[in-house]
Amino acid sequence: MHFDDFTALVTNATAPVILVEGRRSMPESSAQSARRIASQLAERFPSVRFRSGNATGADEAFSSGIIATAPERLEIIAPYASHPLRDRHPLVRYDSPESLDPEALADVQALTIAATPANRGLMKCYGRGGRTGAQAACLIRDTMKVAGSPPSARRGRHALPPPIAALFWIDPADPEAGGTGHTIRVCRLAGVPAIFQNHWETWLNLGS
């Protein structure tokens, strides 16, 4: 996607949300690029809210760029509310699948299975604790970042609208591996454009 196309996408959206995330392991030079593009986009588009996970690597790099510019416009979705978060920022909004009402949770679980059918059995482990319960929570979190959710009794009136686009840092040798690959597949099913570093790195300095 060209930067002009991205700009048009943002401009035509009422309340745009951009998902920013990727692999845990990345070179420092790539982390610097992720921080720069996130900061530049936050400065260039004051109407945009950004959403990410709470993992090390790409999530942390993108998020730090936004926190440096507009922390109040960052949403962090953790696997569960008590998940350890480094340097919790007072202006960042934090959420987790625990805020989903039962109907919304069922929808997210169904989309999780549709994106990665091998996870069908794991969905039954959500809420049970232990390693499999944690894995289920992480996958549901990844799907929730894309699917969003309507206002819930547990979250008050605040809704999580789906993102209009997603910026990923991927491993070019295996772009759909792990949780990042799952999230990319969810984006594909949901019709959310997934933009990889071979495109967004060309935007550096165009967003400022």
CATH code, domain with 134: 3.40.50
Helix or strand run (H / E) with residue 38: helix 28-44
Is residue 46 situated within a structural domain?
yes
Q: Which residue type sits at 130? A: G
For the sheet containing 49-52, what is the strand order? 93-95, 74-77, 49-52, 17-22, 165-169, 194-195
- Whole-structure pTM over 0.85, yes or no? yes
Q: CA–CA separation, 53 vs 60, rounded Å?
A: 8
Q: CA–CA separation, 170 vs 154, rounded Å?
A: 33
Is residue 10 situated within a structural domain?
no
**Beta carbons of 90 and 59 less than 8 angstroms apart:** no
Q: Determine the pLDDT at residue 81.
A: 83
Is residue 11 situated within a structural domain?
no
User: Where in 87-170 does DSSP place strands (E)?
Assistant: 93-95, 165-169
What total of structural domains would you count in the chain? 1
List the domain range (segments joined by +) for residue 168. Answer: 16-203
Radius of gyration of the chain (CA): 16
Is residue 31 situated within a structural domain?
yes
Q: Determine the pLDDT at residue 149.
A: 86
Q: Determine the pLDDT at residue 39.
A: 96
Q: Determine the pLDDT at residue 22.
A: 95
Is residue 9 situated within a structural domain?
no
Is residue 151 situated within a structural domain?
yes
Reading the chain (208 residues) residue by residue, the pLDDT tens digits are 999 999 999 999 999 999 999 998 899 999 999 999 999 999 999 999 999 998 889 999 999 999 999 999 999 999 988 766 666 788 999 999 999 989 999 999 999 999 999 999 999 999 888 899 999 999 999 999 999 987 766 656 578 999 999 999 999 888 888 889 999 999 999 999 999 999 999 999 775 4
